Structure formats: structure tokens, C-alpha cells
Amino acid sequence: MLTIKDVSVQYRGSEQAALSSVNLSFSKGEFVCILGKSGAGKSTLIRTINGLQPVSEGDVFWNGKPLSANNEEEARKARREMGMIFQHFNLVPRLSVMQNVLTGMFGYRPTFKNLVGWFTTEEIQRAKDVISQVGLSDFSDRRVEHLSGGQKQRVGIARALVQNPKVLLGDEPVASLDPGTSNHIFSLIKQMHDQHNLLTIINVHDVSLAKKFADRIIALKNGSVIFDGIASGFTEKEYMETYGSENYQHV
């Protein structure tokens, strides 16, 4: 379904590669958490998968087709099937919940319709359905700037789901939330993952969340994969190799 083959990413002006010869394969139905210290390459990996970050070497393959820069049409089609949840929500504060969720459909629609904000009855119903799924039906007309952090992230999840994605990506989606809200949002993501039979790949700092929800954990260090296995296999040994002794969490 999704394959990362010999992918390296080198940022201009940096001596250390953000990703170094990464090889990974993912299948439908997997719930994967990416672990690693800040700067390990987690965000770069997510951004490489959905084409926000060009690769320096190697390629990402979606259903067997490469998504490199010289395959822009295939890359555009693939991005429409990849919903993205961001750490800082990436919502338009002065727009309503409904309006923000509807922007998730832009990749499927003509530009002129997006510019004038014209949506069909079916598209509006689709947005209402996903807003209901994330528990925000009573907030549909409320401006996002008046929501709590957890509610904003629910809007972000709904916006990703309205794309009808096959892959759900998360770049530290709970990093700015308190522990209780983080657990609640992760529970919701897992619920949506199961309900829609998605491939879900999420960066997360909290090892306990990864071990609680993930089927598979991948750990990065200095841009390289140092662990790839079932969640229960990420033990204290793997934790120490990934994070060192600072801020040790019992796993």
C-alpha cells in the first residue's frame, strides 16, 4: 500500500541528514506510532509521506507508483487520499467548524468552486456526518477561535476524515494538549481508524500513548530507523536507545 524506499532528506545548510536511507512498508489497517527525540526526523518522515517535503534520494511509493517530483499528477492524487492532522491545528480561527471541515474537500473540487465557497448538498451532508462522528454537532456553526484545544483538534480530525482518506497522518497531534485531553483525542483517532479501516501513522512524544494505542511502533534516531516492531516489543532497552536516560519514563 505505502512503501518508503531508500529515502534520505538533507536540508540545505545542515550537515546531518534529517532522514538517512529509510526503508519502511505500511499496510491498510495498521495503527503506527513514530517515536524519537526532537530532531530525530519524525516530522520530516510524515511530511515526506504526503509530499510536503521533497526527498533528496529514494522515493515514496503509493500503491506501487512513485510520488517523486517528476510524478506530480500521481503525487496530487495520492495526497487527496492522505488526511493530515497537525499539532497546531492549521485551522482558520474566524471561520466556523463547518467551514473549516469543508476545506478538507478542496483537493477534489474545481478551484473556482473553492474560491466562491459553493458546496453541494451531498458535500455539506458529508461534512455534517464527520462533524457528528467527532462529537461536535452542537458546535457546527461556532467559530473555531472560540473552541478549546481539544475541540479544535476534533475539527482537525473531521477535516481530515471528510477527504474520505485511505491514510490518516498525524504530526504530533496532541503535543499542545494536556494529558487527559491527549488521551481522549488519541482514543477518538483510534475509533475513527477502526471505523474507517485506515492506515494511520502518527508522531508522538508520549511513549505511554504509543504503547496503549499502536499496533506497531517505529523509533527514529538521527534520521535512521532503530526500532520497528510490535508495541509490546518497545521495552526499556529500546527506550534508552531512543531517548537516553534523560526524562526516563517507565515502559
What is the tens place of the pLDDT at every residue in 121-172?
A: 898 899 999 999 999 999 999 999 999 999 999 999 999 999 999 999 999 9
- Of 164, 185, 219, the last residue of a domain is 164
Interval 58-79: pLDDT, tens: 999 988 888 876 567 777 777 7
Pair (96, 148) in one structural domain: yes
Residue 241 belongs to what domain range? Answer: 1-81+167-176+198-251
DSSP state of 51: T
Pair (18, 39) in one structural domain: yes
Asked if the model's pLDDT at residue 114 lies above 70, the reply is no
Contacts 24+ apart (CB under 8 A), 242-251: 242/35, 242/36, 242/37, 242/40, 243/37, 244/37, 249/207, 249/208, 251/207, 251/208, 251/211
Asked if the model's pLDDT at residue 50 lies above 90, the reply is no
Pairwise CA distance, residues 134 & 246, whole Å: 36
- pLDDT band at 200; cut points 50, 70, 90: very high
Q: Is residue 90, in this structure, part of any structural domain at all? A: yes
Helix (H) / strand (E) element for 8: namely strand 2-9
Q: Is residue 185, in this structure, part of any structural domain at all? A: no
What pTM was estimated for this model as a whole?
Answer: 0.90
